[in-house]
Copies of this chain bind each other. A is one copy, B any other.
Amino acid sequence: MTKKHVYNFSEGNAGMKMLLGGKGANLAEMTMIGIPVPPGFTVTTEACEEYYNNKKSISKDTEQQISSSLKRLEKEMGCGFGDQNNPLLVSVRSGAAVSMPGMMDTVLNLGLNPQVVEGLIKKTGNKRFVIDSYRRFIQMFGDVVLGIEHRKFESILEGRKQTKGVLYDTELDHDDLTEIADRYRALVEKETGQRFPDDPWTQLIMAVAAVFESWNNDRAILYRKLHDIKGLNGTAVNVQAMVFGNMGESSGTGVCFTRDPATGENRFYGEYLMNAQGEDVVAGIRTPQRLETLEDKNKEAYNKLCSIRHLLEKHYKDMQDIEFTIQEGKLYLLQTRSGKRTAAAAVRIAVEMVKEKLIDKKTALMRVEPASLDQLLHDQIDPVAKKEHEAAATGLPASPGAAVGHIVFDAHKAHELNEQGKDVILVRTETSPEDLIGINAAQGILTSRGGMTSHAAVVARGMGKCCVAGCNSITIHEEKGYLEVKGTRLMEGEYLTLDGATGEVFIGRIPTVEPSLSAEFSTLMSWADEVRRLKIRTNADTPHDAETALRFGAEGIGLCRTEHMFFEGERIRAMREMIVAETVEERKEALAKLLPFQKHDFSGLFKVMKGKPVTIRLLDPPLHEFLPKEDEEIRGLAKELGIAEEKLRERIEALHEQNPMLGHRGCRLGITYPEIIEMQTRAIIEAALEQDDKNLVPEIMVPLVGDVEELKNQKGIIRFIANELISKKGSDMRYMIGTMIEVPRAALTAEEIAEQAEFFSFGTNDLTQMTFGFSRDDTGTFLPEYLKLGVLEKDPFQALDQKGVGSLVRIAVDAGRKARPKLKIGICGEHGGEPSSVMFCHDAGLDYVSCSPYRVPIAKLASAQAAIREKC
Contacts and interface: CB of A to CB of B under 8 A. Distances in A.
Contacts of A660: 658-659, 775, 778
A452 interface: no
Interface stretch (A199-207, A400-408, A662-670): A662-670
B749 A664 contact: no
B785 A748 contact: no
Contacts of A766: 773
A778 B662 contact: yes
A625 to B, nearest CB: 11
Interface string A725-757: 000000000000000001111001100000000
A516 interface: no
Interface in A770-797: 770-775, 777-778, 781-782, 785-786, 789-792
A709 interface: yes
Contacts of A771: 706, 743-745, 748, 770
A350 B513 CA distance: 87
A672 B743 contact: no
B744 A777 contact: no
Interface string A6-36: 0000000000000000000000000000000
Interface string A793-822: 000000001011101100000000000000
Contact of A659 (B743, B775, B786): B775
Given A671-B786, A749-B803, A661 B658 contact: yes
A479 to B, nearest CB: 14
A844 to B, nearest CB: 15
A775 B657 CA distance: 9
B791 A710 contact: yes
User: Which one of A742, A775, A789, A790 has the greatest number of beta carbons of chain B within 10 Å?
Assistant: A775
Given A663-B775, A745-B804, A773-B766, A707 B658 contact: no
Contacts of A672: 781-782, 785
A671 B744 contact: no
Contacts of A773: 661-662, 704, 706, 742-745, 766, 770
Contacts of A743: 771-773
A587 B678 CA distance: 55
A766 B713 CA distance: 26
Contacts of A659: 659-662, 775, 777-778
Contacts of A769: 662
Contacts of A661: 658-659, 661-662, 773, 775
Nearest to A705: B773
A791 B744 contact: no
Contacts of A790: 709
A791 B663 contact: no
Q: Assembly of this chain: how many copies?
A: 2
Given A672-B781, A771-B770, A748 B664 contact: no
Contact of A782 (B671, B707, B748, B805): B671
A627 to B, nearest CB: 15
Interface in A244-292: none
Contacts of A658: 660-661, 775, 777-778
A709 B706 CA distance: 29
Interface string A485-529: 000000000000000000000000000000000000000000000
Nearest to A781: B664
Of A745, A770, A804, chain B has the most CB atoms within 10 Å of the CB of: A745
Contacts of A807: 748-749
Contacts of A706: 771-774, 804
A713 B789 CA distance: 9
A801 B706 CA distance: 12
Contacts of A745: 771-773, 801, 804-805
Contact of A663 (B671, B778, B804): B778
Contacts of A744: 744, 770-771, 773, 804, 808
A674 to B, nearest CB: 10
A63 B672 CA distance: 60
Contacts of A781: 657, 663-664, 668, 672
Contact of A775 (B662, B713, B772): B662
A791 B662 CA distance: 17
Contacts of A772: 706, 743, 745
A807 B745 CA distance: 9
A744 B807 CA distance: 11
Interface string A669-689: 001100000000000000000
Contacts of A789: 671, 713
A782 B803 CA distance: 33
Given A671-B785, A770-B773, A807-B748, A792 B707 contact: yes
A428 to B, nearest CB: 15
Contacts of A791: 671, 707, 709-710, 713
A657 B778 contact: yes
Contacts of A786: 668, 671
A766 B769 CA distance: 13
A830 to B, nearest CB: 17
A802 to B, nearest CB: 11
Contacts of A804: 706-707, 744-745, 748-749
Nearest to A475: B650
Contacts of A801: 745
Interface string A645-664: 00000000000011111111
A659 B789 CA distance: 24
Nearest to A655: B781
Contacts of A657: 775, 777-778, 781
A89 B350 CA distance: 97
A42 B742 CA distance: 59
A662 B776 CA distance: 8
Contact of A664 (B770, B778, B803, B805): B778
A778 B785 CA distance: 30
The residue among A710, A774, A786, A791 with the most chain B CB atoms within 10 A of its own CB is A791
Contacts of A774: 662, 706
Residue among A748, A749, A792 having the largest count of chain B Cβ atoms under 10 Å: A748
A782 B663 CA distance: 9
23 contacts: A657-B777, A658-B775, A659-B659, A659-B660, A661-B773, A662-B662, A662-B775, A663-B778, A664-B778, A672-B781, A672-B782, A672-B785, A706-B771, A706-B804, A707-B792, A707-B804, A713-B791, A743-B771, A744-B744, A745-B804, A748-B771, A748-B804, A749-B807
The 9 A-B pairs of least Cβ separation, nearest first, read: A662-B775, A659-B775, A745-B804, A658-B777, A663-B778, A664-B781, A743-B773, A659-B661, A659-B659
Given A664-B782, A744-B808, 20 more contacts: A657-B777, A658-B775, A659-B660, A660-B778, A661-B662, A661-B775, A662-B662, A662-B773, A663-B778, A671-B786, A706-B774, A706-B804, A707-B791, A709-B790, A743-B773, A744-B773, A744-B804, A745-B805, A770-B771, A770-B773
Interface of A: 657-664, 668, 671-672, 704, 706-707, 709-710, 713, 742-745, 748-749, 766, 769-775, 777-778, 781-782, 785-786, 789-792, 801, 803-805, 807-808
